[in-house]
Amino acid sequence: MNLCKKVLSGQKSSVKATAELQIIPRAQHNISRKDISKNALKVLYRLKDAGYDAYLVGGGVRDLLLGLKPKDFDIVTNATPEQIKKCFSNCRLIGRRFRLAHIVFGREIIEVATFRGHHETDNSKHKSDDGQLLRDNVYGDIDQDAERRDFSANSLYYDIKDFSIRDYWGGVAAIANREIELIGDPDTRYREDPVRMLRAVRFAQKLDMQITPRSAKPIYQLAPLLQNIPKARLFEECLKLFLAGKGLDTFKSLIEFGLFQQIFPNLAESVASENAAYQLMSIALRNTDTRINNEMRVTPAFLFAAFLWHEMEQAREHYQAQGMPAQDALHTAASAVLDGGQYNVTIPKRFSTTIRDIWALQPRLEKRAGKRCLKLLEHPKFRAAYDFLLLRTEIAQGEQATELTAICTWWTELQKSDAGKQASLVNQLNSQADKRRPRKRRNNGKRPYNKRRRSNNSEQSNND
């Protein structure tokens, strides 16, 4: 970062009305090839050797300048997707709106894009009535590609030929000033792709930066455009927003801009009043952040189970009030919430199944029914359900808080105990349950009264 500041020579702002190329030689920045993925370097060099221009671009360059370890390494080139595919046998082409090449190295995927260009004057062919881009397969050169980037901090190109950085929109200055600055007219750029509003919030929280006033102001008005984004894409954006270790801060920022309410309109009232549902969401995000920052495993299902729990509980109570058995009411309520389409994301089945399990296990954890407790420990989703019960306990009040705390303490001790101690805990629980259970009346050895036989005898007597 200090090396970047040498380049700035007194610049105070990164805002630029037009592109102004600044080439930063290797001696004046801190990016080293040893910090770049070996597979990304393979792709860069092979494209260069094949006669094409190739650059490391975007977040990878930005994070390296900040001294961070990039999660992904994206590459741009003047080669078309078909030409890229000819260079790599491990290449697959994806995308409809804009064709991309994925170079697969085991678990690592290097994404390679062709320089994007400007569209024709007639916007009706590639834009919706709201100004959203529908088709984007227009190729250009690096100058046009730089103008098509979203934020100045992401419009940086690392040249594999001489290891210099090409900065078109004051990206280095934006990084030094810790600014998230949109390239071009914010209103137009957000309309082209409303997801840019989510990206602005995500980068600001992830990198501890501030969205500039001119880039922040239109978000409040244009937030409803998120409803035009495919639900599957919004789900993927939610994963990036909430599973990066800054989920709670991102959550609060999304609410401030009115963006969260567009993704989850069914939760708008809860976040406005900061009620129990809001508190559970906040605690779940805090818990997830802690696990991620401690390099522990997390699942999106846990977060979505917390987001939608109170809505499911309300539906369950409604069905039970209509006379439906408790277990049936829970399953019906879960289906109504998960399949009802009240929110603007599509939760894949592999996660919605886990959400149902977490919810369905809550009553079983609370009842602690006899020897079934030990069987419950073997359930694949027991740990997630137990952690969820702990979260519920944190926001519980009054008698419910006392009861849930005792239940959680019991389950915690059961998990830590050996087989003998576990049997003792279960037996103790059973004996307490027997004391509370009402005694059955004894008939002192007499034959049980049979109403049907009595009735038959009466009829026989009358017939006689």
User: Which residues are identified as catalytic?
Assistant: 72, 74, 150
Which single residue is written with the structure tokens 């910090």?
35
Backbone angles phi, psi at 371, to 5 degrees: -70, -10
| Distance set, CA 422 to CA 167, 330, 408 (Å) | 64, 29, 15
Q: What is the DSSP letter of 120?
A: P
H or E, element range at 60? helix 59-65
H or E, element range at 74? strand 74-77
Backbone angles phi, psi at 33, to 5 degrees: -65, -25
Residue type at 409 in one-letter notation: T
Distance CA 268, CA 107 (A): 38
* 448 and 392 Cβ atoms separated by less than 8 Å: no
Give residue 28's Cα distance to chain centre. Answer: 37
Helix axis angle, 398-416 relative to 419-436, nearest 10°? 150
